[in-house]
Chain A
């Protein structure tokens, strides 16, 4: 069999195993080892990969950034910082038409600054903001749609687990990637707020407003968000100023979130253990895929798949942006059937050489990929944030959440177009590091 035929067979087997519910990481590892062994004609060296590659990945100190940022997010969630953020933004913005929706978006943005997980952000605000919005007469579709969209900010605004994984796979500086996410993240908040304003303008009776809060109430609420501000400035300031590496920032952030939670008596022993166990579970899930992907990478190398795909795509005559759009369409299609993290780990080793060959900036492409994943978190039929909201708010239909999130999906597509047209939005801040 030619290497091309082996590569095609490998990919068919991989997708076949995944569809039969074999864990993504295991499927990649199995196909990687067998495919590599077949191409080189000896299974011995292929099996040897299992003794070298996984332990090298698991003991790479840089990879500690993943569990440590996950732990920081878990402590932040457990210590009630999300509630304080929502209360503060509500006192300032709640009186506007659709104000509680705007307050939710702003609070999600604030929470994203200390929690790198979209799913955790969506789950947290389903508990914090949804009851408040419903109590004030906000439609269910709008309330859940806002939370789904706001939750997606979790992976764009640093720190972000998806940026970290992208950086580790492509060997890009994770700190630069985090900093690159700041302006697109602020743009996302602004555009989501604008979307709510447009909805309020087009359908004046659809969204209520709540009474205006006094300045005394606002200042009191503002005082409560010191912890979030401190943590964000400490971590991102530390990375931007060159005080910490990304891994050190993650460790300092996790320890900082723990200290704040304990000092404010918001973290019981049971909560502490739950945070550790939750972070461990997600870490194990991510690392299984990472290890599988690295083994699968050997198979890709011997079959020269990335080079051949690069040659094929650059030879289509579509131009760099045509190829980029093709790649993004592929991500949106894959996002309909696959977990976003698994999708990134599986595809980046194949797509990244194409992006480099086309002359795109790797940091900018990281931002584009994260935005595409953000879109995948809310667009039908899979939209993980939508499922998470459904699992927290039992009485809502999936179709209701998808209906509510549609205006924000359109906003995301527009934002993606803006970021593609103006890469400077992502690259300006990192260029000053």
Chain B
């Protein structure tokens, strides 16, 4: 049978975890679209109508915070953070896996501490009744949504560490080194 007759290779069905991660990522990406729209519309209104959307500034920066924290959660799970690969690329497979597990554990502990401390910040902001500049919307709600991203990262990182230890093949092949410039 020819390749054409056999048809395309079926795409593996994503697991519930992968779907959950995709959902977080797409939602955060949608926030980025909203931030862009807000900046664009704010400038447009300022120049053409000498008017500004109430709370546009606060809403933009708080949404930015949410999308960054959510993005960090996904990057932590996928191993998308910028890291130094010098030793890793030269190491044998066993040592690579050990380094991956060590790195995932350190990241997990660091993110757990961060999530715990940020929970205090959310509660503190709620207790202090901090509001946005124009409409006095409670800021703690935005912080809480951002915190959900961090809390998800703990769940996802625990899962990543488990997968690295027990089923390393489930995480797929290592990606090309990620860069930001």
- A residues neighboring B (CB under 8 Å): 17-27, 29-30, 33, 47-48, 50-52, 54-55, 58-61, 63-64, 67-68, 71, 117-119, 154-155, 161-162, 243-244, 247-248, 250-252, 254-255, 258, 273, 276-277, 279-289, 337-342, 373, 377, 384, 387-388, 391
Contact = CB atoms under 8 A, between A and B. Distances in A.
Contact of A61 (B32, B36, B61): B61
Interface residues of B, number: 62
B74 A67 contact: no
Nearest to A258: B36
Contacts of B65: 55, 58-59
Given A19-B87, A21-B85, 16 more contacts: A18-B84, A20-B87, A21-B83, A21-B87, A23-B107, A48-B117, A51-B117, A117-B181, A251-B38, A255-B37, A277-B26, A285-B80, A339-B84, A339-B179, A341-B179, A341-B181
A61 B57 CA distance: 8
Given A276-B32, A284-B71, A339-B179, A29 B88 contact: no
Interface of B: 25-26, 28-30, 32-33, 35-40, 42-43, 47, 57, 60-62, 64-65, 67-69, 71-72, 74-76, 80-88, 99-100, 102-103, 106-107, 110-111, 113-114, 117-118, 120-121, 124, 143, 146, 176-181
A27 B99 CA distance: 14
Nearest to B40: A255
B74 A68 contact: no
Contacts of A244: 43
7 contacts: A19-B86, A55-B65, A61-B61, A67-B64, A280-B28, A286-B180, A391-B176
Nearest to A33: B113
Nearest to A118: B181
A285 B82 contact: yes
Contact of A119 (B35, B67, B179): B179
Contacts of B121: 51-52, 55
A273 B26 contact: yes
Nearest to B180: A341
A162 B114 contact: no
Contacts of A48: 117
B107 A55 contact: no
A276 B29 contact: yes
B81 A50 contact: no
A22 B103 contact: yes
Given A26-B106, A341-B181, A377-B181, A64 B86 contact: no
Contact of A252 (B39, B74, B102): B39
A25 B87 CA distance: 18
Contacts of A27: 106
Contacts of A117: 181
Given A22-B106, A337-B86, A47 B181 contact: no
